[in-house]
Structure 1
Amino acid sequence: MSTDDFKPETWTIPSNEALKISLVSSAQDKAVQFPPSFTYPIYGDDETIFGFKNLVIHLVFDSVSFKPFINAKYDAKMDNTEDILKKLESELPTDDIVIKDENIWRDVCEVEESSYSLPRESLKVGEYTTSDSNVFVIYKAKLQEDPALSKLHRRMQIFSLLFIEAATYINEKEPYWEIYWLFNKKTKECLGYVTTYKYWNYNGHESFDSKAYQRTYRKRISQFLILPPYQGKGHGSKLYKCIYNSWKGDSSVTEVTVEDPNESFDDLRDLNDLDMLFKDGFFATLMDTIGIDNNIDSKWLQHKRKEYKLEKRQFERCVEMTLLQSQKLEVYKTHVKRRLYQKNFEALNDIPTEAEKIKAINSSFESLTDDYKRILSKCTFTDS
């Protein structure tokens, strides 16, 4: 035993570093490994594991069936340290995990892959081909509709904990959950999935009591996940557009919402919503509605928001970025500063002087404008 063995750091490792996630394809004889973004749902808020020297935890999935395999390796373990795999095991489907025995796992995966098939054609809602001639298919299903997809979801749902902040497992028995799945048509590999939920939209008793009443819903994207090996290749945008277009064309859907989006998804949504609005002619139409006083007809904006079924704040962002991109700078400045003033009215009242209030509004305006410019610089229509 050396003096290093008495140092706490010798026996301590960040759980994000210790956990190694792998997708293994036996058919293509390849494997890809990547780290998690978060491990606090499994190993605690500190995301730290104590009691092991040079610990490595392997969480491995077959890239087609997603049959899970877990194992841990280390040079030494302190006495009375709990089984390091127990916490990970508790987040995976019961009686569907292979622990430590890699040969058994490979045999099971080989059997499962030989009989694995894509979801039935009736669940298909989209398809696209990439520049390298690979075909990808999007399916939509409630978990109760397809036992195979239900099994796949139970195996894959741990990815939501590891890559989506504050994510929790959904209730499979709740009928309002629907999941969109993205598959490579040739290899049958699942690239990711999106959990969505619908809420009944109550428009008041007069509408509800009307003979012409039609029940309507607000649809929400909850967990949106493209697995790390497949990110940065446009799959997220294809999947988002498929979901948005299907909801926009559904008369029972009144609004498309997103639950607690992170920055990367905010960017994806902004880029795709702006692209949709540009191609639909919204940019040009918006310019025609600007009055001589630099105001935009609020009733027209409300009508367009309902037409596109975008939630209020998202539509406002798109309108403001449209004004900035169209070089209607005075209109943009007036529109944004007015909204910032209204949004922060109570906080501004606590600022003692008018000069300080103006400074605070200008600071928020400049910060927002810089972010809008960053997003617009990534838009493909800015090159045309």
Structure 2
Amino acid sequence: MSADDFKPEKWTSSANEALKVSIVGENAVQFSPLFTYPIYGDSEKIYGYKDLVIHLAFDSITFKPYVNVKYSAKLKDDEVVDVQEKLLSFLPQNDVIVRDEAKWVDCFTEERKIHDLPDSFKKVSEYSLNGEEYVIYKTSLIDDFVRKMHRRVQIFSILFIEAANYIDETDSNWEVFWLLNKKSKKLVGFVTTYRYWHYLGGQSFDENIDQKFRAKISQFLIFPPYQDKGHGSCLYDAIVQSWLLNKNITEITVEDPNEAFDDLRDRNDLQRLRKMGFDTILQKNSQLSDKALESSRKSFKLEERQFNRLLEMLLLSNNSPLFELRVKKRLFIKNYDALNQTDPDEAKEALQNSFELVKDDYRRIIESINTSEV
């Protein structure tokens, strides 16, 4: 060995680059994760290996997992982590084929023959996209088949959703929505959702026998090979529509959405409000009372912050003079303490700058909808 071989960087790999994730159908589609810190630490670095490659593959239908770790050299050091064991600890126990690719192919080929969805898969919606038919199902986690499938796919949540954690499959309030290709049965994506009891006040609690819930979207994932094709919007809209029809769901929320999901949510919610006639109501009477607005918010089952954002977007798209007044009032109240301690001219400028940023962001979302509709 040369002196160069003793340099730490020669034995350090990026975990995000070393981990190669594949979904295998007629062809294998390989991609890299966005995050590996839950598995390999905050630095997302792996020390002690040369030419490290960690293969994590899944069958496109059954999602039977396969792991194979390759490297040209490994340090004999107690501090060198066993990358294979680390990865296996996040995969379903006794359900992973390690290194033996032929055995893995045989296993998922046999599974495919009996891979029939049980009655616990309740169809929610269907749609067509690019000449293919897709179907969305809803399940609880009490079914053994569902638990097996969820245990296989849940690692995608921590690899592609920042700050995601594995959910408690013993909690009956969790439900999973599954998106599949209707003909091929290939799994396209999944969403974990949760129901919170919603206390509506003493009188409602005393008089209403039916329990009311807030429904929360927790982990929303379209697998990388199927992203940027419109599946996310179709899946999100199907989930929301099913909750709008459920009289026990009073409000729809989202857990810590990232910017990409915020955009998807805004576009679909805005289009929905237009289709449901709320835009027309605003055009005829933009100065709706607080009581009327609250009644509309509840009928759309939107949380307050999201409803107010959509209301502002609609006012902007309608060129309503109330848009600027409403946004600036909100920004002033939100930043009152800071603005109150600032020179009046500087505070006015800061408020105007914040307003322009909000307006530009809303325009970006509105224009993306208008462009897609052309």
- With normalisation by structure 1, the TM-score equals 0.93
The letter for the 1-side match of 2:332 is Y
How far apart are residue 143 of structure 1 and its match?
1.0
1:12 counterpart = 2:2: no
Per-residue CA deviation, residues 217-238 of structure 1 (Å, 9 max, x unaligned), is 1111011010010011111111
Per-residue CA deviation, residues 150-202 of structure 1 (Å, 9 max, x unaligned), is 11100110000101111111111101101100011111111111111111111
1:167 aligned residue: 164
1:229-378 equivalences in 2 (<5 Å): 229-291=225-287, 296-328=288-320, 330-349=321-340, 351-378=341-368
1:200 counterpart = 2:197: yes
Cα gap change, 1:298 to 1:36, in 2 (>3 Å): same
CA contact (8 A) 2:124 2:137 kept: yes
The letter for the 2-side match of 1:205 is G
1:223 counterpart = 2:219: yes
Runs (4+) of structure 1 moved beyond 6 Å? none
CA contact (8 A) 1:207 1:213 kept: no
- Specify which of 118, 135, 140 is matched with residue 138 of structure 2: 140
How far apart are residue 99 of structure 1 and its match?
1.1
How far apart are residue 327 of structure 1 and its match?
1.6
Cα gap change, 1:128 to 1:176, in 2 (>3 Å): same
Question: Mean alpha-carbon deviation: is it higher for 122-131 or for 263-272?
Answer: 122-131
Report sequence identity in percent. 51
How far apart are residue 51 of structure 1 and its match?
0.8
The letter for the 2-side match of 1:315 is F
CA contact (8 A) 1:219 1:257 kept: yes
CA contact (8 A) 2:20 2:54 kept: yes
How far apart are residue 297 of structure 1 and its match?
2.0
The letter for the 1-side match of 2:235 is L
Cα gap change, 1:166 to 1:122, in 2 (>3 Å): closer
Distance 2:34 2:81 in 1: 24
1:115 counterpart = 2:114: yes
Per-residue CA deviation, residues 273-314 of structure 1 (Å, 9 max, x unaligned), is 0111112221121122234xxxx4222111110110111111
Per-residue CA deviation, residues 306-342 of structure 1 (Å, 9 max, x unaligned), is 11011111111111111111122x3111110001111
How far apart are residue 381 of structure 1 and its match?
7.5
Distance 2:151 2:277 in 1: 42
Gaps of 5+ in 2: none
Per-residue CA deviation, residues 206-260 of structure 1 (Å, 9 max, x unaligned), is 22222x4432111110110100100111111111111101111111111000000
Gaps of 5+ in 1: none
SS at match of 1:70: strand
The letter for the 2-side match of 1:82 is V
1:73-84 equivalences in 2 (<5 Å): 73-80=70-77, 81-84=80-83
1:60 aligned residue: 57
SS at match of 1:175: coil
Question: Mean alpha-carbon deviation: is it higher for 240-249 or for 282-291?
Answer: 282-291
How far apart are residue 346 of structure 1 and its match?
2.5
Distance 1:121 1:209 in 2: 33
- With normalisation by structure 2, the TM-score equals 0.96
Distance 2:338 2:183 in 1: 56
The letter for the 2-side match of 1:230 is Y
How many residues matched?
372
CA contact (8 A) 1:278 1:381 kept: no
Distance 2:209 2:114 in 1: 47
CA RMSD of aligned residues (A): 1.6
Question: Mean alpha-carbon deviation: is it higher for 237-246 or for 356-365?
Answer: 356-365
